[in-house]
Amino acid sequence: MQTLHLRNDTLVEIATFLARRWSEKDKITVEFSDKRETQTKLKENKISLVSPERLAGTDFDKYRQFRTAIWYEAMRIKFCKKILSNEHAFGFVLNTLETRRIELLGRKVWRGMDAEMIFNYAYQWLYRPQLANVLGKHRIVEAFYQYFLFGDIKGEMQPSYYDKITNASARAKEIVNEALEKKHDTEWIEKKIPEILKILDLDALVTIQLSIPWRGPGLLTTPQDFVKAVQKTAKNREADFGKIDIQNILESTSVAEEFKVLKDENRKNENKGLGTESVGIQIPGSTNVDETRIYDQDLISNLKTKFKEWKTSWSEQHVISGDEFDEDAYAEGYHSPFITDVKKSIKAKIVILLDHSSSIMDQQIQYKKATLALCEVLSFLKIKFSVYAFNTTQKQVVCWLVKPEDIKWNNASAKRLAQIDANGGTPLAEVYEKMYPSLRSKKPDIFLTLSDGEPSDPDAVRAMIKSLKALGIKMVAIGVGRDTFGATNIANNLKYLGYENTLAVSRLKDIPNRVLSVLSAE
């Protein structure tokens, strides 16, 4: 999946700022939605945007479409009395006329949006379906939408239907022009919609499939196709927007500068607080990484539900004597019929080191999913933790900083984890040595190492573990194996290296539970 190189929380902040500025309404909120079209709910002061990741084009193209979509919804909030659902012909036609009215009103205030609207229209034209792929009454509605807003239709229609489309479009333009001249609002236009439906020979309650107003970016276009679409759109809308320099539309220098600043600031924020104290510890630098492939939402949700009681720091437990008597438990013969609240607070600071040697190469995605789920739950429980990983890069052992202790786990951390490839051996002693200055400075309570093999130099590892334990750090290791026997064997071998606690895991999804069991024992 191609991303916008900007985190969703950053995009929401940008969208909220722009929507409030353009609409002049300070209570507007913006969110991203999985629905097939952008929606604005006036009563709730809320805009639900289609995610920019679903748009076509380059990162800059996506940003421009995202930005223009916000402007349109802000203008709806500013100028519309109501916004009906697009699911029926009446609401769809009303919203279509309103789109033209609010853009013509809005451009009087925001003249700089002319080029952005033409640019956005070019992409919207490419998104629209071919009329041959639209059946029944939906084809008439789609054809009217295309002709009214774009000045053309994609495909061919029977002459009788085409006449209806052109006549309805002409009447719709007259209605919008009269509304603009006499300063009529949505409610006045709403009373005129039956005229348009009559010309189109449509029932007001004809259902409109949401796949028609939003086709999605599943299309392949060349730069030449897009330039042609821009030229065509600019020509068809010249009566409304006047002549606009095509090159200016394509380049959009001012928005390009804005986008560059946002990317630079985003990069700075992602790396803020990521300074490393030790030579040899590096920070993964790529931002165009698809971190979604290592998210297992089911695993994360199940873990959060399972450990939800830790969130409050209190848990109810049955005991022999306590604060409250449980009659049902007593009647059923339980030996602990009393209930008491037990404090579940976890104050320990933890450092996690992930083995990314070549032996996990064939299952590194599942390995990352499990460790990412662990990080999500640790963050959910507000436990202080940092994450490191190691591998061999260009024949050099590298220790990577994935998440420092004082920065919250976020999308940027997940990107750093996702881009670390499994490669090389298991030089634990060398990695511990690289981390030693930082560990001596931060002094975590627990240092947890996840490994699926024996270290290349056991004696050197034993010496480093002894040095780290001398700092007051509890050394814990989890042996990750292909099966129960293999995991147990690895854990036993790790035990002889001097770790205070060793655990075995044969199923990668059990890693978070194992780590949390260590913390619960603290």
| pLDDT tens digits for range 394-404 | 888 889 999 98
The lowest-confidence range among 129-143, 280-294, 346-360 is: 280-294
| Token pair for 137 | 């009454």
Q: Are residues 356 and 217 in the same domain?
A: no
Which residue type, as a one-letter code, is found at position 282?
Answer: Q
Q: pLDDT value at position 354?
A: 92
Residue 2 has pLDDT above 80, yes or no: no
- Domain-located, residue 386: yes
| pLDDT category of residue 521 using cuts at 50, 70 and 90 | low
The predicted-structure confidence for 386-428, as pLDDT tens digits, reads as follows 999 999 888 888 899 999 888 888 888 888 899 899 888 888 9
Comparing CA positions, the residue from 283, 319, 255 lying closest to residue 393 is: 283
- Provide the percentage of residues in the chain whose pLDDT is more than 70: 84
| Token pair for 110 | 């925001």
What does pTM read for this prediction?
0.56
Tell me what the mean pLDDT of segment 56-78 comes to. 91
Higher-pLDDT residue of 441, 183: 183
Q: Are residues 87 and 176 in the same domain?
A: yes
Please give the span between the terminal C-alpha atoms of the chain, in angstroms, as a whole number: 41
Q: Are residues 187 and 226 in the same domain?
A: yes
The predicted-structure confidence for 247-272, as pLDDT tens digits, reads as follows 888 888 888 888 887 777 666 655 55
Tell me what the mean pLDDT of segment 306-318 comes to. 59
Number of H helices, E strands in the chain: 20, 13
- Domain-located, residue 453: yes
Q: Are residues 336 and 383 in the same domain?
A: no
Q: Are residues 198 and 329 in the same domain?
A: no
Task: Measure Cα distances from 354 to 31, 365, 419, 432, 513 in Å.
Answer: 34, 13, 13, 12, 16
- Domain-located, residue 267: no
Q: pLDDT value at position 103?
A: 94
Q: Which residues contact 249 (CB under 8 A, 6 or more apart)?
A: 115, 118, 119, 230, 234
Q: Are 318 and 334 in contact (CB under 8 A)?
A: yes
Residue 58 has pLDDT above 90, yes or no: no
Phi, psi for 325 (deg, rounded to 5): -90, 130
Residue 280 has pLDDT above 70, yes or no: no
Q: pLDDT value at position 111?
A: 80
Higher-pLDDT residue of 42, 327: 42
Q: Are residues 94 and 209 in the same domain?
A: yes
Q: Are residues 376 and 247 in the same domain?
A: no
Sheet containing 39-41, strands listed edge to edge, beginning at the edge strand earlier in sequence? 29-33, 46-50, 39-41
Question: Rounded mean pLDDT of the chain?
Answer: 82
- Domain-located, residue 354: yes
| pLDDT category of residue 144 using cuts at 50, 70 and 90 | very high
b/e burial code for range 117-145 (CB count within 10 A of at least 16 → b): bbbbbbbbbbbbbebeebeebbbbbbbbb
- Domain-located, residue 46: no
- Domain-located, residue 220: yes
Task: Measure Cα distances from 185 to 86, 213, 258, 385, 418 in Å.
Answer: 19, 24, 34, 56, 51
DSSP element (H, E) containing 264: helix 253-271
| pLDDT category of residue 316 using cuts at 50, 70 and 90 | low
Reported in sequence order, the residue ranges of 134-215 that DSSP labels E, i.e. its strands, are none
Q: Are residues 516 and 393 in the same domain?
A: yes
- Domain-located, residue 487: yes
Higher-pLDDT residue of 199, 304: 199
DSSP 355-408: E--GGGGGGHHHHHHHHHHHHHHHHHTT--EEEEEEEEETTEEEEEEEE-TTS-
The alpha carbon dihedral of 227, 228, 229, 234 has a sign of positive
Q: What's the CA gap between 427 and 424, in Å, rounded?
A: 9
CB atoms within 10 A of CB 304: 16
Residue 216 has pLDDT above 50, yes or no: no
Q: Are residues 125 and 204 in the same domain?
A: yes
The lowest-confidence range among 92-101, 292-301, 315-324 is: 315-324
DSSP element (H, E) containing 465: helix 458-470
| pLDDT category of residue 30 using cuts at 50, 70 and 90 | confident
Q: Are 503 and 514 in contact (CB under 8 A)?
A: yes
Q: Are 351 and 444 in contact (CB under 8 A)?
A: yes
Give the total number of structural domains in the chain: 3
Q: Are residues 85 and 234 in the same domain?
A: yes
- Domain-located, residue 494: yes
Tell me what the mean pLDDT of segment 232-259 comes to. 85
Q: Which residues contact 121 (CB under 8 A, 6 or more apart)?
A: 149, 150, 233, 237
Q: pLDDT value at position 218?
A: 46
User: Domain containing 321: what range?
Assistant: 313-343
Q: What's the CA gap between 372 and 297, in Å, rounded?
A: 10
Tell me what the mean pLDDT of segment 435-462 comes to. 88
Bridge-partner residues for 12, per DSSP?
Answer: none
Count how many residues are written for the chain.
522
Residue 483 has pLDDT above 80, yes or no: yes
Q: Are residues 234 and 364 in the same domain?
A: no
Q: Are residues 239 and 354 in the same domain?
A: no
Tell me what the mean pLDDT of segment 116-130 comes to. 89
Q: What is the CATH number of the domain that holds 485?
A: 3.40.50.410
Residue 82 has pLDDT above 80, yes or no: yes
